[in-house]
């Protein structure tokens, strides 16, 4: 067996469950079980006096201590108003997510006797700029070196593509998780994974199916007992019904019926739920996923993609037979259920592994070219600039394959290109000729990234000292539209030098990188002066709050 390279772990930070994976010495992605020997860990955090408990125990504790348990925290990532108060302390969503990440890493370290430091974390394709940044911050609070944030469907496609690289294919990744639905068209080739289009709903997931069962249970309980009160007002009953609904839903994926019992206020009602009834209660939810898929296909058509080869299903909720049935029916193609619980973490691990191999190749090739490693952008560029030859690359790849024991093709494929699109449109607040405030879109959703857009702004008065730019995110592809149809995600303040005349052009460049991070730069055109831009957002943890969370998390052992 060869010398191992520095590992980069893949983490699927899910709404309901999370998991961690790595690539083993044979080049195979494997999930690392948690301390409870489970392959997925509930993304649930229990503040148990001085202890932080994450996972199954936390999930079960929700029943007894509903106010001390936080679930579905992913839905609050990037939300400025989310604060969880416990005792005298306040926690933002990033920090609570960091505890989930810590639990995964801690258990993985125990299992592998190795430190988890570098990671690739996944997020839904529809996550906007703030949610992505919040995910990165969660990783940093947990103490990781976050190498990259990649999209869940891209990650699943990498796992899928790595199984069969014999032919190019266009796949639809239909990802129905615990709280979110993503539909993405991806062009998978031997050396690239390119996202063509993405769509979905971040408030549609397995949980909504659970809620329908809960509502039905409440109705049945009222019918049988004659009690008219809303039994969900009782937090214990609410928790009980939630857990029992999820259990029943999972059973109905395997069996035609399941018994359900509801206990509240000393009364107990027993009932049988069959799959037909469950499907009737949730038909519109599946239909919504079909509508989103059609919408995405229309957008793909505009980009010249009129067909696809396969549909792959990922996300735990695609185990419901109604999903396969409805998708087959709507699109005339039987979807493939692909490793629904594990594909995302495994794909992230494969991507991380490729990054690690790539790091090692760059180290070898920069030595060969006598070029400082920090000046190397990527290997293709070194070859293009003739700093190294194709033969140098081959030799370095062979040496790396020999040193590590990995196959030569897998080492050579480390240069996998991942191309992404923005899932949202980005614009700024401006005034139209009538003087109304509007959003003027600069980057339309489903634009391939990286992208750089420039726009001129003009000083309004003489000696203007600051310019405030409000950056707006939306799901519309219109060029101009009312402010209330977008969300303000950041403000950028330009600090201008003194003595500028009015009406002076200032060029602002908005750049979105491969990961979906936004960078803003500005230049005063008359003298080509760089202008200081301060980007501010209340939606993502930062400054002192971030440092405090990081310090708090540093020595914390989660249970
Ligand atoms: P994910 O976020 O991909 O882990 O998906 C979690 C969701 O999948 C939760 O809503 C689970 O209840 C749901 N799920 C997991 N297993 C099953 C199953 N066998 N049948 C139906 N739903 C499931």
Q: How far apart are CA 153 and CA 124, in angstroms?
A: 7
For CA atoms 116, 117, 122, 123, the dihedral sign is: positive
- Assign 411 a pLDDT band (cuts: 50, 70, 90): confident
**Could you give all domains of the chain from N- to C-terminal order, each with its CATH number?**
8-164+339-347+543-554 (3.30.420.40), 206-279 (3.90.640.10), 354-420 (no CATH), 422-527 (2.60.34.10)
Angle at 468 between CA 462 and CA 474, to 5 degrees: 145
| For residue 370, pLDDT beyond 90 | no
Convert the pLDDT of each residue in 450-471 to its tens digit: 999 998 888 889 999 988 889 9
| For residue 413, pLDDT beyond 60 | yes
Residue 236 half-sphere exposure, CB side, CA atoms within 13 Å?
6
Q: What is the pLDDT of residue 2?
A: 61
- Residue nearest atom 3 in ligand 1 by C-alpha distance: 315
> Which of 210, 249, 282, 348 best tests ligand 1's pocket when mutated (most atoms within 8 Å of CB)?
249
Average pLDDT value over all residues in the chain: 91
Q: How far apart are CA 411 and CA 394, in angstroms?
A: 10
> What percent of the chain is predicted at pLDDT more than 70?
99
Atom of ligand 1 nearest to the CA of 344: 3
Q: How far apart are CA 296 and CA 307, in angstroms?
A: 12
- Highest mean pLDDT among 1-15, 108-122, 391-405 belongs to 108-122
* 177 C-alpha to ligand 1 centroid (Å): 6
Q: How far apart are CA 182 and CA 486, in angstroms?
A: 20
Range from 84-88, 101-105, 328-332, 516-520 carrying the lowest mean pLDDT = 516-520
Atom of ligand 1 nearest to the CA of 254: 19
The residue behind tokens 């690690």 is 356
- Highest mean pLDDT among 135-139, 201-205, 419-423 belongs to 135-139
Structure letter (DSSP) for residue 332: T
> Which of 175, 206, 315 best tests ligand 1's pocket when mutated (most atoms within 8 Å of CB)?
206
Coil vs helix vs strand at 519: strand
* 321 C-alpha to ligand 1 centroid (Å): 12
Q: How far is CA 164 from the centre of its chain?
A: 25
| For residue 519, pLDDT beyond 80 | yes
Q: What is the pLDDT of residue 192?
A: 85
pTM for this structure?
0.87
* 330 C-alpha to ligand 1 centroid (Å): 22
Pocket of ligand 1 (CB under 6 A): 14-17, 177-178, 206-207, 246, 249-250, 253, 315-317, 319-320, 341
Q: What is the pLDDT of residue 1?
A: 52
Q: What is the pLDDT of residue 172?
A: 96
Strands 451-458 and 448-449: unpaired
- Residue nearest atom 20 in ligand 1 by C-alpha distance: 250
- Assign 379 a pLDDT band (cuts: 50, 70, 90): confident
Q: What is the pLDDT of residue 455?
A: 87
**Stretch 83-106: mean pLDDT, rounded?**
96
Structure letter (DSSP) for residue 3: P
**Stretch 298-316: mean pLDDT, rounded?**
93
- Residue nearest atom 22 in ligand 1 by C-alpha distance: 317
| Token pair of 307 as six digits | 């067909």
Convert the pLDDT of each residue in 223-246 to its tens digit: 999 988 889 999 889 989 999 999
Convert the pLDDT of each residue in 534-552 to its tens digit: 777 778 898 899 999 999 9
Q: What is the pLDDT of residue 6?
A: 87
Q: What is the pLDDT of residue 417?
A: 83
| For residue 126, pLDDT beyond 90 | no
Q: How far is CA 323 from the centre of its chain?
A: 22
* 253 C-alpha to ligand 1 centroid (Å): 10
Atom of ligand 1 nearest to the CA of 40: 4
Convert the pLDDT of each residue in 44-80 to its tens digit: 999 998 899 999 999 999 888 989 999 999 989 998 8
* 249 C-alpha to ligand 1 centroid (Å): 9
Q: What is the pLDDT of residue 414?
A: 81
């Amino acid at each position: 067996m060869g010398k191992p390279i520095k590992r980069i772990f893949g983490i699927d930070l899910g709404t309901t469950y999370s998991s961690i994976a790595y690539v083993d010495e044979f080049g195979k992605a494997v999930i690392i079980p948690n301390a409870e020997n489970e392959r997925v860990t509930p993304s649930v955090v229990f503040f148990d006096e001085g202890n932080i408990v994450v996972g199954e125990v936390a999930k079960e504790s929700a029943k007894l201590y509903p106010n001390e348990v936080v679930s579905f925290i992913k839905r609050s990532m990037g939300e400025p108003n989310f604060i969880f108060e416990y005792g005298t302390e306040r926690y933002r969503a990033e920090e609570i997510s960091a505890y989930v990440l810590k639990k995964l890493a801690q258990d993985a370290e125990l299992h592998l006797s190795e430190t988890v430091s570098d990671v690739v974390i996944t997020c839904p394709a529809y996550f906007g700029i703030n949610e992505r940044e919040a995910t990165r911050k969660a990783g940093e609070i947990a103490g990781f070196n976050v190498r990259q944030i990649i999209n869940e469907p891209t990650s699943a496609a990498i796992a899928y593509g790595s199984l069969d690289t014999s032919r190019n294919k266009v796949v639809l990744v239909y990802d129905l998780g615990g709280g979110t639905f993503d539909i993405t068209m991806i062009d998978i080739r031997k050396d690239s994974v390119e996202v063509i289009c993405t769509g979905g709903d971040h408030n549609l997931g397995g949980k909504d199916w659970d809620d329908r069962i809960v509502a039905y249970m409440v109705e049945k309980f009222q019918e049988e007992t004659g009690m008219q009160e809303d039994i969900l007002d009782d937090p214990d009953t609410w928790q009980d019904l939630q857990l029992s609904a999820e259990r029943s839903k999972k059973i109905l994926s395997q069996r035609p019926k399941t018994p359900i019992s509801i206990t509240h206020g000393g009364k107990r009602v027993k009932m049988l739920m069959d799959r037909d009834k469950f499907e009737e209660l949730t038909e519109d939810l599946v239909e919504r996923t079909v509508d989103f898929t059609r919408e995405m296909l229309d957008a793909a058509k505009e980009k010249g993609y009129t067909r696809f080869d396969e549909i792959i299903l990922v996300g735990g909720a695609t185990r419901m037979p109604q999903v396969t049935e409805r998708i087959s029916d709507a699109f005339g193609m039987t979807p493939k259920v692909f490793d629904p619980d594990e594909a995302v973490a495994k794909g992230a691990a494969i991507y991380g592994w490729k990054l690690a191999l790539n790091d090692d190749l760059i180290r070898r090739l920069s030595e060969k070219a006598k070029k400082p490693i920090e000046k190397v952008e990527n290997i293709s560029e070194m070859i293009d600039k003739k700093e190294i030859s194709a033969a140098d690359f081959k030799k370095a790849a062979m040496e790396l394959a020999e040193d590590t024991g990995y196959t030569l093709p897998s080492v050579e494929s480390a240069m996998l290109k991942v191309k992404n699109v923005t899932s949202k449109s980005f614009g700024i607040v401006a005034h139209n000729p009538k003087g109304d405030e509007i959003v003027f879109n600069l980057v339309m959703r489903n634009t391939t990234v990286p992208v750089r857009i420039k726009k001129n702004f003009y000083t309004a008065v003489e000696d203007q000292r600051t310019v405030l730019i409000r950056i707006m995110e939306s799901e519309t592809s219109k060029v101009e539209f009312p402010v209330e149809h977008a969300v303000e995600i950041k403000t950028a303040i330009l600090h201008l030098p003194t003595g500028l005349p009015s009406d002076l052009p200032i060029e602002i460049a908005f750049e979105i990188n491969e990961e979906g991070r936004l960078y803003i730069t500005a230049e005063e055109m008359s003298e080509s002066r760089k202008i200081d831009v301060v980007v501010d957002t209340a939606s993502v943890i930062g400054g002192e709050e971030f440092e405090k969370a990081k310090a708090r998390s540093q020595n914390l052992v989660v249970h």
